[in-house]
Amino acid sequence: MSDDPFAAAAAAGIHRLAIPTPFAVGRVNVYLIEDEPLTLVDAGPNSGTSLDELQRGIAGLGHALEDIGLVILTHQHIDHLGLIQLVATRSGADVAAIDVAVPCVQNFGEEAQADDDFARDVMLRHGIPEDVVTALQSVSRAFRAWGARVEVTRPLRDGEALELRERTLHVHHRPGHSPTDTIFHDRERRILIAADHLLKHISSNPLITRPRDDSGERPQALVTYLESLRATREMDAGLVLPGHGEPITDHRALIDERFALHERRAAKILRLIGERPRSAYEIAQALWGNIAVTQAYLTLSEVLGHVDVLLNDGRAREIERDGLSIFEVRGDTADRE
Ligand SMILES: [Zn+2]
């Protein structure tokens, strides 16, 4: 047995390059697939350091960035997408992405601003203090420089087969962590390129992202994510290649752990709002203390995700008080607690 957890992937011609990012998550996994065309899955954030490491990694495998013929985008987040256009421009590569990602990435600047405006409204509505919201928004604006717009030349449909010379990658849309998460399944080799849809060491945060339908409704990111996980659980895969950290060899056990974790959190939140009605921000503070301030949007997304589950199955209710959303248990549930 080799010590390299990615050895089995490399044997199948899929090479992991861990590219640095300025974000708390650490390095991002980019994959070079030695096939025809030479294919890169994600590219890392838009920075000189990341580009240097990407070029060095590709050169270490005996190729050059200019040889890349296809770049595949797994989802809209900037740690994965930032360098894609630069790679495509230098190499002349096609850029493939799920069709729903096309408007987000082609109008990157305006979309990012609209996302921030939406996030601001959500944070204020759920009780995050205005000064915290303002601080977070300036961080988000600064981080935007690590992204860049992407021109998609090869839009993909959910369920389609992407053919390379030596392999077929089945394309599956698995929204939840972001609305554009896409996974790529090599059925023959039982390899699944899953990006941030499934990570080994951390649970993928289902971030609340601006809906594209103008409904004004808060999208139920966790509910969507759990549905996506159920679909992935049914898939046949011996090796799952994630967007961060090490590969996963038993995705069903990991997905079951995630389901159990989410159930425990939902139960805990139900107990908290059983004590007294609370805003999502108050719930986040009770669960995570100061992290609810420094990582306000992340923790808010997590709380609202669980609250959505409780609202959907009738265990909780959302009421409005002075423009704030407050959550409380439904009477019949409170009696049973
Ligand atoms: Zn992501």
- Residue range 92-136, pLDDT digits in tens: 999 999 999 999 999 999 999 999 999 999 999 999 999 999 999
Give the residue among 56, 82, 67 at the shortest CA–CA distance from 33: 67
State residue 332's pLDDT score.
60
Ligand 1 mean position, distance from CA 45 (Å): 12
- pLDDT at position 337 over 50: no
Question: What is the 3-class SS of the chain, one letter each residue?
Answer: CCCCCCHHHHHCCEEEEEECCCCCCCCEEEEEECCCCCEEECCCCCCHHHHHHHHHHHHHCCCCHHHCCEEECCCCCHHHHCCHHHHHHHHCCEEEEEHHHHHHHHCHHHHHHHHHHHHHHHHHHCCCCHHHHHHHHHHHHHHHHHCCCCCCCEEECCCCEEECCCCEEEEEECCCCCCCCEEEEECCCCEEEEECCCCCCCCCCCCCCCCCCCCCCCCCHHHHHHHHHHHHHCCCCCEEEECCCCCECCHHHHHHHHHHHHHHHHHHHHHHHHHCCECHHHHHHHHHCCHHHHCHHHHHHHHHHHHHHHHHCCCEEEEEECCEEEEEECHHHHHHC
**C-alpha 301 – ligand 1 centre gap (Å):** 14
How confident is the model at residue 213, as a pLDDT?
73
pLDDT over 90 (residue 25): no
> How many residues does the structure list for the chain?
337
How many CA atoms are closer than 13 Å to the CA of 67, on its beta-carbon side?
A: 13
Q: pLDDT for 242-269, tens place per residue?
A: 999 999 999 999 999 999 999 999 999 9
What is the whole-number distance in angstroms between the Cα of residue 25 and the centre of ligand 1? 10
* pTM listed for this prediction: 0.93
The alpha carbon of 196 and the centre of ligand 1 are apart by a number of angstroms equal to: 5
User: What is the C-alpha separation between 335 and 159, in angstroms, rounded?
Assistant: 46
pLDDT tier, 336 (very low <50, low <70, confident <90, very high otherwise): very low
- Burial grade of 304 (CB within 10 A; 0-12, 13-18, 19 or more): buried
Least confident of 1-10, 12-21, 29-38, 168-177: 1-10
Give 151 Cα–ligand 1 centroid separation in angstroms. 19
The CA 206 to ligand 1 mean position distance, Å, reads 9
Centre of ligand 1 to C-alpha 258, Å, is 17
* Selected residue with higher pLDDT from 95 and 2: 95
pLDDT band at 75 (very low <50, low <70, confident <90, very high): very high
**193 alpha carbon to ligand 1 midpoint, in Å?**
14
66 alpha carbon to ligand 1 midpoint, in Å? 26
198 C-alpha vs ligand 1 centroid, how far in Å? Answer: 10
CA 77 – ligand 1 centroid, Å: 5
Distance 305 CA to ligand 1 centre (A): 17
Q: How far apart are CA 5 and CA 135, in angstroms?
A: 39
Q: How many angstroms does the Cα of residue 97 sit away from the middle of ligand 1?
A: 14
How many Cβ atoms from other residues are within 10 Å of residue 197's Cβ?
26
Contact yes or no for 308/263 (Cβ under 8 A): no
Residue 107 alpha carbon to ligand 1 centre in Å:
18
Whether the predicted pLDDT of 334 surpasses 60: no
Q: Which residues, other chains included, contact 119 with Cβ-Cβ below 8 Å and sequence gap of 6+? A: 136, 137, 140, 208, 210, 297
Report how far ligand 1's centroid is from the alpha carbon of 178 (Å). 7
Ligand 1 centroid – CA 129 distance (Å): 26
The Å distance, Cα 205 to ligand 1 centre, comes to 8
Tell me the pLDDT tens digit for each residue of 178-203: 999 999 999 999 999 999 999 998 88
pLDDT band for position 1 (50/70/90)? low
Q: State pLDDT tens for residues 49-66.
A: 999 999 999 999 999 999
pLDDT in the model for residue 2? 63
Distance 222 CA to ligand 1 centre (A): 14
Q: Any residues with CB less than 8 A from the CB of 75 and at least 6 apart, and which?
A: 81, 101, 177, 178, 180, 181, 182, 195, 196
Please report the sign of the dihedral spanned by the C-alpha atoms of residue 60, residue 144, residue 152, residue 210.
positive
Residue 187 CA to ligand 1 center (angstroms) comes to: 24
Q: Give 11 Cα–ligand 1 centroid separation in angstroms.
A: 26
